[in-house]
Amino acid sequence: MKPVAIVTGASRGIGRGVALELARTHSVIGTYRGRRDAAESLRAETGCEILQCDVSSGADREGLIGFARERFGRLDLLVNNAGMAPRVRRDILEATEESFDELISVNLKGPYFLTQLAARWMAEQGAGRIVFVSSISAYTASVNRGEYCISKAGLSMAAALWATRLAACGVKVFEIRPGVVRTDMIAAVEKIYEERIAGGLLPQGRMGEARDVALAVRAIADGLLDYSTGQVLNVDGGFHLRSL
């Protein structure tokens, strides 16, 4: 039997890239929130299971884990990828509580408590791997989307907390921090990023692609980093480097 992976937010962007990669070796459950057409396209291409799931909903999280138990009876890998940007970018002097609450609920609370459910199951199994897909925004201040930065900074701490708690249970936890990655999330500002990259923003000189993140997940899924629980993988073209 193939190992089983859950990839949240799998219908588009980074999540789709991760699901495509994992489907070569895993039975994949890919979740989506609104774009069923994109999810159906993923299923047609990979044969993976798809399930509508809003990770901010406790009932949906329970339903996702219940589906995995019933369908496969095991869980080897959870990739917490689902997330969202602010619906409107606003300076923090003008930002709204509604946007803050939405991003914290989707980007932080959802994966934190989904991990709780998965971690209990994996601890029973005595094995498993969990990935949190955060962002360079976990440590990079963008004052026109402060709620996003705060949600990702919290997610980074969540990864450290779960890595610490689960190490003795045989469950390894990792954080992947993508940089500027070409997805529909940045479509409105993609040209600006391309200009900044051309101007030297990234040492490696190109924008990231979903596959770059997927290959980092591949290394984790294959057990190549099993003695490195809690590790942060910067998939950012060298953005995190400081140089003079």
Bridge partners of 32?
Answer: 52
Mean pLDDT taken over the chain: 97
Look at residues 179, 56, 64, 78 and name the one whose alpha carbon lies nearest to residue 132: 78
Among candidate residues 32, 112, 148, 227, the one labeled active-site is 148
User: Rounded to whole angstroms, what are the CA distances from 166 to 77, 112, 130, 175?
Assistant: 14, 14, 10, 14
Q: What is the CATH number of domain 4-234?
A: 3.40.50.720
Residue for token pair 């200009």:
195
Instruction: Say whether 112 is catalytic.
Output: no
The pLDDT of residue 214: 98
Q: Residues 133-147: pLDDT tens digits?
A: 999 999 999 999 999
Q: Any residues with CB less than 8 A from the CB of 93 and at least 6 apart, and which?
A: none
The DSSP secondary-structure symbol of 208 reads B
Report d(CA 14, CA 178) in Å as an integer: 9
Q: Residues 196-224: pLDDT tens digits?
A: 999 999 999 999 999 999 999 999 999 99
pLDDT tier for residue 184 given thresholds of 50, 70 and 90 = confident
The pLDDT of residue 187: 86
Structural domain boundaries in the chain: 4-234
Look at residues 60, 165, 176, 45 and name the one whose alpha carbon lies nearest to residue 109: 60
Q: Any residues with CB less than 8 A from the CB of 166 and at least 6 apart, and which?
A: 119, 122, 123, 130, 172, 173, 229
Q: Residues 123-182: pLDDT tens digits?
A: 999 999 999 999 999 999 999 999 999 999 999 999 999 999 999 999 999 999 999 999
